[in-house]
Every structure is written in C-alpha cells, then in structure tokens.
Amino acid sequence: MTQASEIQQGALLNLITPTGDAAELRGCDLIIEAVFEQRALKAAVAREAEPMLAAGGVFASNTSTARHGAGFALSPALRERLAAGA
C-alpha cells in the first residue's frame, strides 16, 4: 500500500464535516460520534444522529459503553447491529 500524497490527504480531510446540528447529518454514509464520556450526552447524540444515517450507513462511536449498552440509549435496530459486530 502506498502512502497518500499531500493533495490526496487534503481531499480526504475535506470530506469530513463536523457539525452540532443533527439535521445536517441526513443521508450520511458515516457518522462518527466523538463527544466526551458523559453517558447522557452520548445517548442524546446517538438518538438524534442515528435516524439521519443513510440506509446501510455506519454509526461509529469512540465509547466502549455502546457495545454493552451500559447507560447508552440506542434504538433497537442499532443495538442489534452493534451486538452482531456490524
């Protein structure tokens, strides 16, 4: 595998759009939740963001509590996908 050029790296970084507005996530193929470790906040972000995913999209989190559901409120569909390792 070759390393991406500086131009390629810049192009990839330009595809990342941070937002605090869940409506801007509508239709995204990939949503990465990266709020700090406060269960209530992570749960609120997941509840708002997950419905915005494109069909077959990926919801990623930097938390270890999501897989086990420890205070992390996820929809049944997303909880099932996490349990299956999807």
| pLDDT tens figures, 18-61 | 998 999 999 999 998 888 878 888 888 888 998 999 998 988 88
Q: Which residue has the higher pLDDT, 38 or 7?
A: 7
Q: Is the pLDDT of residue 74 over 80?
A: no
Average pLDDT for 63-82: 60
Q: Helices in 1-86 by DSSP H: which ranges?
A: 6-13, 39-49, 65-68, 76-83
pLDDT at 63: 73
Q: What residues pair up with 59 in beta bridges, in sequence order?
A: 31
Q: Is the pLDDT of residue 16 over 70?
A: yes
